[in-house]
Amino acid sequence: MSEHPIEISEQAGVRSLHFGSDWVQGAMRIRRPFSLELAYTREMMACLLLRPDAGWPRRALLIGLGAGSLAKFIHRHLPHTKTTVVEIDPRIAPMAQQHFRLPVDPQRMKIVIADGADYVEGARGHFDLILVDGFGPDARPRCLDSAEFYGAARALLSPTGLFVCNLLGRSRGFAASSRRIDQAFDGRSTVFPSCDSGNAIAFAVAGEPIDVSLEEMRLHAMEVKRNTGLDLRSTVSRLQMAQPLPGGRLLL
């Protein structure tokens, strides 16, 4: 692991995390510390529209902590969820707690200092949700973007498990990354249209099918907004415009 610098900037009420470059690794609006400031993090939580069952997920695995946006959101708004966060850099968790309001709650949020790929390869048990957002200082996921990693992640999913991965839609390797995920999950994956930031979020399943209509997703989005303040209605609209959905349904 390289000892890249960790820097924090503030502008217009938003505090941002950087790994020695202008590339934003995480952000928090200071007046709303538990909201999801970056568009791609909101998009990753669109998993709640695909598995809207009450009490889901019970167990979540996050690969990559950064400023802790996803971990904080889950901790605040999904009180039934126990989360394991795997972060390779031991400096990140104390920084996120000090500067980005990451809760200290070992009963519901366990932080493991480890390489994400190694952890997934050796982990036991199952998770209902796996969120992968593990870019390094050069904005490359390295060993988190391999057929072996995706296969190992699939093996950790519960019957209702959902795999969610942040990809860079404008990178040269984007198409190859999407194919690797699709192959690892036997064609049961989809990539939502790229956010304004250039991030594109892949979703994949291996167990119980996902069969949800656009109308159902809109209704779920309204419920999520009421319960958490997160507005995913634009995500549903972009999905409708960008992808052919036979019969107006997303099937995985």
Among all residues, which ones are annotated catalytic? Answer: 133
By the 8 A CB rule, do 133 and 52 touch? no
Q: Which residues are bridge partners to 190 per DSSP? A: 203
**Burial tier of 118 (Cβ tally within 10 Å: 0-12, 13-18, 19+):** middle
Q: Before 79, cis peptide (omega within 30)?
A: no
116's CB contacts (< 8 A; 6+ apart) are 63, 64, 86, 88, 132, 134, 143, 144, 149
Taking the CB of residue 206, how many other CB atoms lie within 10 A of it? 20
Sequential DSSP letters for 159-178: EEEEEEEEEETTSTTHHHHH
In the three-class reduction of DSSP (H, G, I as helix; E, B as strand; rest coil), residue 219 is classed as: helix
CA distance 232 to 20: 32
CA distance 223 to 61: 24
